[in-house]
Structure 1
Amino acid sequence: MTSRAELENYLATLLDVGRFRDYGPNGLQVEGRGEIRRIVSGVTASLALIEAAIEAQADAIVVHHGLFWRGQDGRVVGWMKQRLQALLQHDINLFAYHLPLDAHAQLGNNAQLGLQLGWGADAQFGEQELGFIGALPQPLDVAGLRAHIEQRLGRSVTAVAGDGRRLRRVAWCSGGAQGYFESAIAAGADAFITGEISEPQAHLARETGVAFLACGHHATERYGAPALGVHMAERFGLEHRFIEIDNPA
């Protein structure tokens, strides 16, 4: 068991929350009961996750995607009312860590995605050093890399092959990080892996020769939250359960 305040302070230090310029608040987003024994981790603070956490009798939920984002409608109506009402009625704390959970060198989404895919990073790159880059265990062509990722993540991958070179160094940044493609190219990557693709990236891949692979936003960001949950459980002697809410994105 631990207190809400102790857990919040510990996570702020562990994830170095203060160094990030983010799209929403990191840390405690909704205050619940003061003592925490049981935590649920998940990717997004959806109503489905909140209801599952209620069923699991959780004292706190820890997610990557919280409730509050820059520029959103500030009214508590509709889906926002439903989510907040469920949390408040059941006195459940909601902790959310966005960019800090992407960037952490051991527990973060990018570090854990690399482990899932079977390789490690030797450097970080890009704005706020969110991107990871490293050498493949053995060179692959784009088809081989795509097949490997599809097998490990259990979903289809959109690939733009670039110039067909053998791939030796790969860069990755989970979620909606297609804007990091140019930074990955500058860092010396032969291929860049992220969650989503937008219109410009196909042209950049063809013109620069660097392959681009879009592997799913949720699919690339489902590993940091459970790793953080396991760490918290071990550190504070808590019960922990990761709850997967399926998302095709």
Structure 2
Amino acid sequence: MVHRNRLEAYLNELLTPAEYPDYAPNGLQVEGREQIATVVSGVTASAALIEAARDLRADAVIVHHGYFWKGEDPRVVGMKARRLRLLIEAGINLFAYHLPLDVHPKLGNNAGLARLLGLETDGRHAAKGVPGLLWSGVLSEAERADAFAARVEQALGRAPTHVDGGTTTIYRVAWCSGGADGLIDQAADLGVDAFLSGELSEPTTHVARERGIHYFAAGHHASERSGVQALGAHLAEALGVEHHYVEIENPA
């Protein structure tokens, strides 16, 4: 069991959120009970995740996608009111870490993608003003694009959308979890054979073809599962809390 203040301080020291300009507040977003014995992690603080945490008698939920995004309607009504009511009535603390959980060199989503895809990292590059947001690395040996797509599907449990704009084989890859397909031009500047992110927008297809690299949209949710799982496992070992990762299926 750990006090809420100690958990918050530990997370902030580990993930250093003050170093990153972000689109939502990182850290404790909704205050619950002081003593924390059980932590649930998940990708997004949806009602389904909070209900699962309540049923597991969790004291805290840690997510990648929390609340209070820039430009969001500030009123506490409708879906937002229901989510907050669920947390408050159950006494559950909500912690959210967005960009800090993408870029962390060991526990982050990009680090997780490297492990899952068998990529040896050779660079962590600044993008959108965020240090270490765009990663690059190499496979153990070059492989055809269809083999790499199969690798992604096996690792993430979801067949990626593939835009074929590149070379016959893939060896050097750049990647960034989530909705980062807009970084494809910067990825191409690194001289990679392929770029992988979570989503596919209309311009990305043309950039891939015209810059001559493969693009793989692996799924926003699928590409961001590993960070919260690794963080929860780390907290269980470091602080002695019980940890459960809860998967809320999401095809996006």
**TM-score of the alignment, normalized to the shorter chain, above 0.5:** yes
The alignment status of 1:179 with 2:169, answered yes or no, reads: no
Separation (CA, whole Å) in 2 of partners of 1:163 and 1:41:
37
Give CA deviations for 1:98-157 in whole Å, capped at 9, x if unaligned. 000000000001101111112231211132121111011110121111111112222121
The alignment status of 1:42 with 2:45, answered yes or no, reads: no
What is aligned with 2:118? 118
The alignment status of 1:245 with 2:240, answered yes or no, reads: no
Displacement of 1:224 in angstroms is 0.5
Query: Given that residues 126 and 184 in structure 1 are in contact (C-alpha distance below 8 angstroms), is that contact kept between their aligned partners in structure 2?
Result: no
Separation (CA, whole Å) in 2 of partners of 1:68 and 1:243:
22
**Worse-matched range after superposition: 162-171 or 138-147:** 162-171
Query: Given that residues 192 and 213 in structure 1 are in contact (C-alpha distance below 8 angstroms), is that contact kept between their aligned partners in structure 2?
Result: yes
What is aligned with 2:61? 61
What is aligned with 1:213? 216
Query: Given that residues 125 and 187 in structure 1 are in contact (C-alpha distance below 8 angstroms), is that contact kept between their aligned partners in structure 2?
Result: no
Query: Given that residues 167 and 193 in structure 2 are in contact (C-alpha distance below 8 angstroms), is that contact kept between their aligned partners in structure 1?
Result: no
Give CA deviations for 1:172-208 in whole Å, capped at 9, x if unaligned. 1011001111111112211000000111111111111
**Worse-matched range after superposition: 39-48 or 175-184:** 175-184
Displacement of 1:164 in angstroms is 2.9
Separation (CA, whole Å) in 1 of partners of 2:116 and 2:171:
18
Q: What value does the CA root-mean-square deviation take over the aligned residues?
A: 0.9
Letter in 2 for 1:230: A
Among candidates 176, 199, 203, match of residue 200 of structure 1: 203
Separation (CA, whole Å) in 1 of partners of 2:205 and 2:173:
17
The alignment status of 1:131 with 2:131, answered yes or no, reads: no
Letter in 2 for 1:54: R
Say which SS state the counterpart of residue 171 (structure 2) adopts.
strand
Unaligned runs of 5+ residues in structure 2 are none
What is aligned with 2:155? 152
What is aligned with 2:227? 224
The alignment status of 1:10 with 2:10, answered yes or no, reads: yes
Letter in 2 for 1:171: A
Separation (CA, whole Å) in 2 of partners of 1:168 and 1:240:
36
Separation (CA, whole Å) in 2 of partners of 1:169 and 1:25:
34
**How many residue pairs align between the two structures?**
249
Write 1 or 2 for the structure with the bigger share of strand: 2
Query: Given that residues 166 and 194 in structure 2 are in contact (C-alpha distance below 8 angstroms), is that contact kept between their aligned partners in structure 1?
Result: no
Query: Given that residues 111 and 120 in structure 1 are in contact (C-alpha distance below 8 angstroms), is that contact kept between their aligned partners in structure 2?
Result: no
What is aligned with 2:146? 143
The alignment status of 1:28 with 2:28, answered yes or no, reads: yes
What is aligned with 2:103? 103
